Chain A
Amino acid sequence: MIEISRHISFGQYVDNGSRLTRLDPRAKILCFALAVAAFTYISQFAALALCLFFCLFLQWLSRLPLRYVLQGMRMFISFLVILYAFQVLFYTSSTQATSVIWHWGVLTISWEGLIHSTQVDLRVIFLYYLTSLLMLTTSLVDLADGAEALLRPLRRLGLPVHELVMVFVIALKFVPLLITEVERLSIAQATRGVRFGRGNPWQRIRALSGIIVPLFMSGLQRVEMLSTAMEARCYRAGYRGWRRSKLHALQWTGADSLALACCLLLCGLLVALNFVSPF
């Protein structure tokens, strides 16, 4: 519990000048959206294997240490393992034709349950990996600029696109800050003798409330301070006639078109493979 930040890299950004980092954020967001849609659609193991190769290829392109990325996913995967156990034990088949391996009361382990839960969880891991990688290779400002450029047509419908994107980006910025805050509160509580992960469920919930309530309060305070600091630096979203200029101009290059084309091709392959593959 105490060394949480070492096990979560979500929301961090590493500017190592890799090909992925240098891509236009619009291209990255579009590729990400396509990949998420395809990864969510597929269910066969052959297609999942192709996803794994795709993720490994992205990992190579990103030039990020694999250990760093995996360490950042450790906590999420631990959480997923618990979910996996529940999925398997409480799996109910829609066809009723399940091959049961073990059965006790309402708990059942079946081959179908094992296969289905593995497919679902593998997809979730790949989706989490894609999201982490997008954030590890794209700065918040690039992410905001890219999203704003892509969503610009919605402004005609009267949607405050800039403000919505800024809210989303600030929420992402708060992820590592809140993780550090949880770590700080855990240490503060542990030094007062609070033991996390021990005792009955009620005692565990009570121990966690000592973190959640102050975390909520400090989160609100931080949001208030940040909005004050932004206004003090002349950020005036919502004011008529205000136009921000940008330090970085978005530039779509051949590499971005190639990335998008490859991603489209991969998504097509994934869907086709999922369709024809028997397992």
Chain B
Amino acid sequence: MIEVNNVTFRYSGEAEEGIAPALEEVTLRIDEGETIALIGHNGSGKSTLARLLAAIVLPQRGSVIVDGLRTDAGGESLWQIRQSVGLVFQNPDDQLVTNTVIDEIAFGPENLGLPRFEIEERVEEMLDLLDLRPYARHAVSDLSQGQKQRLAVAGVLAMRPRYLILDEPTTMIPGHTAEQLLETVRRLARERGISVLHITHHMYELADFDRVIVMNRGRVLLDGTPASVLRHREELERAGLGLPLITQLGQRLRARGWSQLPEVILTLDDLKAALCSLK
């Protein structure tokens, strides 16, 4: 379990310039096996929260506790937290360290000092899980952006984290590739009990997650199931977020007299099912 208790974080130099903190009095809890979508406008504090959870930056006020270990405790616990919390960044080119697929997957396990046979086992496992086997001997520079992003996820998962944070991984890849990547991650989360925190600004990606957290100006604005969050249309719009198109369509149909339709429709399949059930 990850606990974020009343955390405030400000980047250095921002206080002198009178800029508001990146995060202000944020409190939340992430349970094991949960899949969460974290959404917010640019500058809402999403990526800062991700870095705090992965102990890349430390809170100036409050605490972040990962499986009972405080991120600001220092020493060996810092590295235990970084092993438990895997972080995938927006641009795969920024995080791929080596220049071959196999070496990249092995980089994390090598840092953990694992024996060679175990590194080999994890590399083999990740090649299959992320469909990277056909590219195993390829240079990283020969991969497409979507393949690179899969490789970045494989490199992090090879460290067997309990929590996986994806910081806008779908921004730089085409729609269908992004959907495949998210589906793979959700499947892995189900099968292995990994908690997933997917940071995004695409509202249509929320539907398949257990929980949605909306951030605005460094604070948690809404926190709940996708359906319960999307009921707060006005608050979302004030935070610069529009409802997904399919939800808007459902609400327009309701406004035109189709009042039996549910208030919040999340997917096209939900809309079809709702329309078919009407008499």
The interface of chain A, by Cβ under 8 A from chain B, is 12-15, 17, 139-141, 170, 173, 176-177, 222, 225-226, 228-236, 242-247, 249
Contacts and interface: CB of A to CB of B under 8 A. Distances in A.
Contacts of B113: 242-245
B114 interface: yes
B123 A234 contact: no
B210 interface: no
A173 B141 CA distance: 10
A247 B98 contact: no
B111 A244 contact: yes
A139 B103 contact: yes
B146 interface: no
Given A234-B79, A247-B110, A176 B141 contact: yes
Given A176-B141, A234-B79, A234-B83, A229 B110 contact: no
Interface residues of B, number: 40
B100 A139 contact: yes
Nearest to B106: A247
B132 interface: no
Contacts of B82: 231-234
A163 to B, nearest CB: 14
Interface string B76-102: 000100110011010101110111101
A247 B119 contact: yes
Interface of B: 51, 54, 56, 79, 82-83, 86-87, 89, 91, 93-95, 97-100, 102-103, 106-116, 119-120, 123, 137-139, 141, 155-156, 159
Most buried by A among B54, B93, B123: B93
A230 B97 contact: yes
Contacts of A243: 113
B256 to A, nearest CB: 45
A245 B110 contact: yes
B99 to A, nearest CB: 5
A230 B141 CA distance: 18
A-side binding surface: helix, strand, loop or mixed? loop
Given A233-B155, A234-B79, A141 B103 contact: yes
A12 B138 CA distance: 11
B116 A229 contact: no
Given A231-B56, A233-B111, A235-B111, A13 B99 contact: yes
Nearest to A136: B139
A13 B119 CA distance: 22
A233 B79 CA distance: 9
A247 B89 contact: no
A126 B158 CA distance: 41
B139 A225 contact: no
A245 B108 CA distance: 10
A185 B209 CA distance: 38
28 contacts: A13-B141, A14-B139, A17-B137, A139-B98, A173-B97, A222-B93, A225-B94, A229-B94, A229-B95, A229-B97, A231-B56, A232-B56, A232-B82, A233-B97, A233-B111, A233-B155, A233-B156, A234-B112, A234-B159, A235-B107, A244-B110, A245-B109, A245-B112, A245-B115, A247-B106, A247-B109, A247-B110, A249-B116
A197 B141 CA distance: 29
B234 to A, nearest CB: 36
A225 B89 contact: yes
A243 to B, nearest CB: 5
A74 to B, nearest CB: 18
Contacts of B119: 245, 247
A222 B93 CA distance: 8
A13 B108 CA distance: 21
A138 to B, nearest CB: 10
A15 B156 CA distance: 24
